[in-house]
Structure 1
Amino acid sequence: MVAERTLVVKDQRILELIRENPFITQQELSEKLGLSRSAVAGYISTLTKRGEIVGRAYVLKEESKITCIGGANIDRKTRTLSPVQYGTSNPASSVQGCGGVARNVAENLGRLSSDVSLITLTGDEQDGAWLLKETKEHGVDVTQSITVNNEKTGTYTSILDESGELVLAVADMNIYEHFSPELLEARWSHIASSEVIFADTNLPEVTLSYLIERVEKEERSLWVHTVSTPKTKRLPQNLSGIEVLFVTREEAAELTETEIHSMEECRKAAELLSGRGVSNVIIHLETEGVFVRQNSGEEAFVEPSVETWVDGTGVKEAFIGGMLFGRTHEKSFHDSVRVGMAASNQTWQTEETVADLTTEQLNENIRN
């Protein structure tokens, strides 16, 4: 016990000296602390692995940083001009923009001036370069993202009906098969310096398992969104490393092998997910709102407040971004849910995948 306290004191002293001079050398630390240079190197290595120190210049971690890991795609969205008629051509309008769950969450946070970074994969073509450029312009750090040679940037094509509800979506996400545990390992000091880590299930099964197991071992905060019903199968049986899991009604049903047609069935599914180790479960019910189950057992159903329903694309990512914003600004879990709902309310009322959010708009929406 005495030895452990000594280690903590040494760690704290090293961090104090680095905070005073980020460019201090190991020799200078050795002289100030009365330790051998090899001992100092050992302390530095441990602090770097824990994410307390980032980079060669001994940059200390930023407490409010959020790292988003997962998909960044070219989004192609088509909306019919009248009720959908199957088996024939439908008049429609189309737009193209930036997409991907992790990327959208990151952009929502960037627009709110949060300290957020994105780790994703893009192809070595014009689409990939444009996607990262657009994301960076909205305040997101993309320096940890990877360009994969001879691969195409992911694409997501959605068809909405005249009311904005999703009818069908198809995705070409083959590039994410290159998202290996080794890529995360190489960037772990950056990831570990985050207050919260967000990931989507565009990551391969082996990479998700690695991430969940590692954050549980290191007691870090990991929030996960399941992206789609087929990709729920990528999650391991043991979900103990996940602090917050975001799922839709259909994804929750797939994960728990149940049917969800009522609030009671929603509650049962959330309980089953909690039984697999998830601390907090949020089930998104589209225009109805969200069902929330916390690790304390407390449950809530939160309804949206929307004047005009325009388009549901990006609403879930806005909710997650709003919650993360609340969490990293010292809001309680309950209040963070309210911030998330305020962000999704704004997004429902625009045709944009990511609304032009401001903190003033969120506060006004919460008051109303």
Structure 2
Amino acid sequence: MYKNDPYILVLGASIVDIIGFSRRKYNSRDSIPGNIKISLGGVCRNIAENLARVNVNTSFISVLGGDDQGKNILNNSKEVGYNMEHSLILEDEYTPTYMAVLNEKGEMESAIVDMECLNKIDSNFIDSKSEIIRNAEYMVVDSDHPELLEHILKKYSKDTKFILDPVSASKASKIKHLVKYFHTIKPNRLEAEVLCGFKINNDEDIKRACDYFLEQGVTNVFISLDADGIYYKNNSEEGKIKTTGVSVKNVTGAGDSFVAGIGYGYLKKLSLIDTVKYAIAMSVITIMHEETINPNMSEEYVHEFMKDINWIES
């Protein structure tokens, strides 16, 4: 993979998702009738798969155990079409696992994550992958490992453009000093508050937060406002956009598919607003299905789906 064959590089966790879906009103400390599904997940793995599903040339660096679930993830990468040949395989370890319980509305009530083996990826391993990092058009990262991320950003920021999914507000707090290294950030409201250092209570605060990020050196900012849509801004365009009438079954992978939509827009050289719309469409397609990644996701499916979306812009 070189510059004449543009690709997006994703770095992060591959996780086995065990998701419980409530069939009636959720009550804590109670046994709730429902169903349980096991699937492949991890924020960055989900992003990589969604990118591949919409025909984006994608390479994914992760860490896997030598167990059956690790083999399942490798097989999935080959079937869907994202490249994991540069990943770290730990034959005597177990692949990371995520367990969550969703309420009757498809919203997460609680979750536990076992990601200990991810600590085996260090700066030496990363630097052994320097060629694939330097030749990527964009590199998608999260804030799971602040020290390692700082090493990557400081060493490779002149070679590729970084896209950040902060993952959580608590993790975002540990990397806010690194904001200036990112080309693109996609925080939700709480993560944006942590990164910019002040509360976001209204649209004026959102604009002020975006201006702060742009002043730090970020090129494109996308702030997720949940039901209120997405606020996006760069030095020439800004706005807030959402869609309505969405039937929600599982919100777990919505942010992951949105980031993949951003990557799609960048490699296809779409305008900022068209990139946002494509990313939102991918997100909506995701939450309308019980799986974390909608098995119908494809470039053609998204284009057809977008024909029937009613956009509300402000």
1:128-187 C-alpha deviation (Å, 9 max, x unpaired): 122222232111111011112443211112221111122222211122222212212111
Which residue of structure 2 lines up, in the alignment, with residue 286 of structure 1?
A: 226
Paired residue secondary structure (1:310): coil
**Counterpart of 2:35 in structure 1: which amino acid?**
S
**Counterpart of 1:193 in structure 2: which amino acid?**
N
| Structure 1 unaligned regions, length at least 5 | 1-53, 55-59
**CA shift for structure 1 position 95:** 0.6
**CA shift for structure 1 position 297:** 5.8
**CA shift for structure 1 position 343:** 0.8
- Identity %, equivalent residues: 25
**Counterpart of 1:124 in structure 2: which amino acid?**
G
| In structure 1, distance between residues paired with 2:123 and 2:110 | 31
Is 1:302 equivalent to 2:244 in the alignment?
Answer: no
Which residue of structure 2 lines up, in the alignment, with residue 207 of structure 1?
A: 148
Is 1:161 equivalent to 2:100 in the alignment?
Answer: no
Change (3 A) 1:146 1:352: same
Which of 25, 43, 49 aligns to 1:107? It is 49
Which residue of structure 2 lines up, in the alignment, with residue 362 of structure 1?
A: 302
Which of 244, 251, 268 aligns to 1:312? It is 251
**Counterpart of 1:205 in structure 2: which amino acid?**
P
Which of 117, 139, 145 aligns to 2:81? It is 139
Paired residue secondary structure (1:341): helix
- Give yes or no for contact 1:181–1:206 (8 Å, CA) kept in 2: no
- Give yes or no for contact 1:103–1:135 (8 Å, CA) kept in 2: no
**CA shift for structure 1 position 279:** 2.3
| Structure 2 unaligned regions, length at least 5 | 309-314
- Give yes or no for contact 1:245–1:282 (8 Å, CA) kept in 2: yes
Which residue of structure 2 lines up, in the alignment, with residue 27 of structure 1?
A: none
Matches of residues 121-270 of structure 1 in structure 2 within 5 Å?
121-202=63-144, 204-218=145-159, 220-270=160-210
Change (3 A) 1:306 1:137: farther
| In structure 1, distance between residues paired with 2:114 and 2:236 | 38
* Structure label with greater radius of gyration: 1
| In structure 2, distance between residues paired with 1:168 and 1:265 | 30
Instruction: Report the TM-score when normalising by structure 1.
Output: 0.78
Of Structure 1 and Structure 2, which has the larger fraction of its residues in helix? 1
| In structure 1, distance between residues paired with 2:171 and 2:90 | 22
- Structure number with higher relative contact order (C-alpha < 8 Å, ≥ 6 residues apart): 2
**CA shift for structure 1 position 70:** 0.6
Paired residue secondary structure (2:178): coil
Which residue of structure 1 lines up, in the alignment, with residue 60 of structure 2?
A: 118
| In structure 1, distance between residues paired with 2:50 and 2:60 | 12
Paired residue secondary structure (2:73): helix
| In structure 1, distance between residues paired with 2:117 and 2:215 | 33
**CA shift for structure 1 position 209:** 0.6
- Give yes or no for contact 1:319–1:340 (8 Å, CA) kept in 2: yes
| In structure 2, distance between residues paired with 1:176 and 1:261 | 36
| Superposition RMSD in Å | 1.9
